[in-house]
Amino acid sequence: VKLDREERPDVDKIYMTFVQATTGSGGWPMSVWLTPDLKPVVGGTYFPPESKFGRPGFPDICKQIGDAWKNDRQRLIDSGNDVVKKLREVFASKPSSGQKLDHSVLEKAYARIASQYDEENKGFGAAPKFPRPVTFNFLLRHMYRKGKTSPEGAEALSMTLETLDVMAKGGIRDHLGGGFHRYAVDQHWHVPHFEKMLYDQAQLAISYLEAFQITRKERYADVASDILDYVLSDMTSPEGGFYSAEDADSVIEEGKPDHAEGAFYVWEYDEVNSLLGEEKAAWFNAMYGVVKGGNAPVGSDPHEEFKNKNILIQRMDAAGVADKFKVSKQAVDKAMSDARQRLKTARDKRPRPHLDDKIITAWNGLMISAFAKAGQILPDGDKYRQAAMKATSFIRDHMYDSSNQTLYRIYRGERSGIEGFLDDHAFLINGLLDLYETTFDIRWIEWAAELQERQDALFWDSDHGGYFATEAGSKNILLRMKDDYDGAEPSANSIAVMNLLRLNHMLGNAQTLEKAQSSLDSFSVNLSNQPSGMPQMLVAVDHFLHPTRQIVFAADPASSLLIEMKRQLNEIFIPGKVVLLADGKEGQQFLSTHLAFIQSVSRLDNKATAYICEDYVCQRPVNTLDAFVSRLRP
């Protein structure tokens, strides 16, 4: 049975845990041999077609297991039973440790993460170098609490910005088509694994947007726009949903079977010179490190896959190129813009990597968040806001059955029968809350509340808190697992806790706050012992431990003063804030049924009015832009 792990992450997680526990490592492709009742007996990652170099081949393993099943079946059955028993013991829902979460867990996590920082190459840990947006999320919030100018706050900001800068210049970024590749195989961020994943684009776009909010440096806004424009161009369906991924490899030449990793993206020196002409090619080569023998660093290409090939990496900025060639920076800027477009046009004629056109609800939720936040933060954000709204409408129309409140996970030409898991619900709820704060369309917060109720019914651990990844009674599932580790995607429980906290402040539901606290308590041991593996959960801890700022506007949504107030608000990095609109219509009516406070919110002198509150203890309302800005920037 061949299984797409993106369609069934629940099955993948169980058997990957088995493989890691029995072999000491994991990865994909993964092969696991099961008893008829689905209990694992043997597993591993890649097995070659034939046995060689001391590694067993796939046919030989099948024969050995077949012989054992024929001659010693009970031993295999007992082995499978024993493995499942141990897995159940490890992943059994456990009561809270009784440890009280306080600021010390944040301090401990920061110290651990800071100790892993690579001062020379930036990022965290050694090669391979993975983007870790969840780590940036924690560091930027730690910076906010400590203050930008405090030693620890300045260090947290510096580690984040330095890493974002190196990644933006690195080979891990597609400098022609936009977006980021999965990871760099070397410590220099130069040679990537060329796959492009939707969840990376979503999370990294938000990291660069927040860097722009904090610094107001245009280069971060440019990278964020670059990512989002790539997704709109290459990873968006005509109906508005977002596709999953583009492969790492592609055929080298149309009509021929040979293919190679990165074939679509790499360049030969003579090819660049031919396309750009001698002078402009010299400028381009200086900027992007293009050389005759190929530019993969020694040790980064052990199999010489990129011999005579160049992976674009920014070695010099426009000012540096201008100085080197004694020309104006303006001339270089224009020439490099033209050069990138010319190379992209030539590249677009090559065979493209395979597009995985599955539309996955969870990943779309992450991407909706990114587009919604871009709609708030970027000056030209309207097209991104529209993209978030279109994707959300697509999911509601095609991947949700409102008659029974069932969310589905996969769409490819048609909706599959796979119902949504915890991450599908949690990530989409997060996107809906972000989209509400961008548009003030009450439909999105209403749907978020509806999905939250459904999520609670399906996945909540009523004994010990937190959410299981799968619902009770799921077919063909050996055990229900609770995930708290932030990997390439954030843990669904981390996002779920943050959703609960936000919904408590938006809709005043005490049960959501109780569930958030119960969830954090259930993960307290791992938070204390392995904080650097759970940075997104630490973001929720940070939010839980500090007062929340609410900004409530009383205004017509089309008010020019409201629009300007929102623009000023979104120029400031205020993590964990909640923004609501009392519009005097259906939106205010819905909110006031949950938050009695909202009923009394009104416009002063019939002008857009802002109420700035902390845990709904509010300052005097203001209805001028200057007064509003002074309250935001005391």
**pLDDT value at position 3?**
81
**Bond into 29 cis (ω within 30):** yes
The DSSP call for residue 101 is P
* Interatomic CA distance for residues 143 and 476, integer angstroms: 45
β-pair type (578-582, 549-554): parallel
Q: Where in the chain is the domain with CATH 3.40.30.10?
A: 9-91, 547-634
* Interatomic CA distance for residues 115 and 507, integer angstroms: 40
Structural tokens at position 565 = 């107030």
User: Burial, 290: exposed, middle or buried (Cβ in 10 Å; 0-12, 13-18, 19+)?
Assistant: buried
**pLDDT value at position 91?**
66
Nearest to 350 by CA among 419, 250, 441, 276: 250
Residue located via tokens 């929102």: 566
Nearest to 204 by CA among 234, 171, 178, 232: 178
| Inter-residue contact 578 to 506 (CB < 8 Å) | yes
**pLDDT value at position 231?**
99
| Inter-residue contact 461 to 468 (CB < 8 Å) | yes
The DSSP call for residue 248 is S
Q: How many CB atoms lie within 10 A of CB 279?
A: 11
* Interatomic CA distance for residues 339 and 341, integer angstroms: 5
3-state class (DSSP) for residue 76: helix
* Interatomic CA distance for residues 363 and 370, integer angstroms: 11
**pLDDT value at position 615?**
85
* Interatomic CA distance for residues 166 and 508, integer angstroms: 42
Q: What are the beta bridge partners of residue 604?
A: 607
Q: How many CB atoms lie within 10 A of CB 274?
A: 12
**CA of 468: how far to CAs of 282, 309, 425, in Å?**
56, 47, 12
Sequence-distant (≥ 6) Cβ neighbours of residue 400 within 8 angstroms: 406, 407, 408
* Interatomic CA distance for residues 202 and 368, integer angstroms: 8
| Inter-residue contact 537 to 523 (CB < 8 Å) | yes
Residue located via tokens 């490899």: 249
* Interatomic CA distance for residues 558 and 137, integer angstroms: 32
* Interatomic CA distance for residues 240 and 242, integer angstroms: 7
CA angle 595, 598, 601 (to 5 degrees): 165
Nearest to 195 by CA among 186, 203, 185: 185
Q: Number of C-alpha atoms within 13 angstroms, CB side, residue 208?
A: 29
* Interatomic CA distance for residues 388 and 236, integer angstroms: 11
Structural tokens at position 307 = 């011999």
* Interatomic CA distance for residues 616 and 4, integer angstroms: 46
The contacts found for 403-406 with CB under 8 angstroms, 24 or more apart, are 405/450, 405/451, 405/453, 405/454, 406/454
The per-residue DSSP string of 603-624 comes to -BTTB-EEEEEETTEEPPPB-S
Looking at domain 547-634, its CATH superfamily turns out to be: Glutaredoxin (3.40.30.10)
**CA of 117: how far to CAs of 86, 139, 487, 535, in Å?**
35, 12, 18, 15
| Inter-residue contact 261 to 248 (CB < 8 Å) | yes
**CA of 591: how far to CAs of 386, 441, 444, 577, 584, in Å?**
24, 12, 12, 17, 11
Query: For the domain bounded by 9-91, which CATH number is listed?
Result: 3.40.30.10
Q: Split the chain (634 residues) into runs of 10 and give each run's mean pLDDT.
A: 81 82 78 86 84 82 88 85 79 66 94 96 95 97 96 98 99 98 97 98 99 98 99 98 97 88 97 98 98 94 92 98 98 98 98 97 99 97 98 98 97 95 98 99 98 98 94 79 91 98 94 96 91 95 95 97 97 96 97 93 96 91 96 81
Dihedrals φ, ψ of 193, to 5°? -85, 120
Residue type, position 362, single letter: A
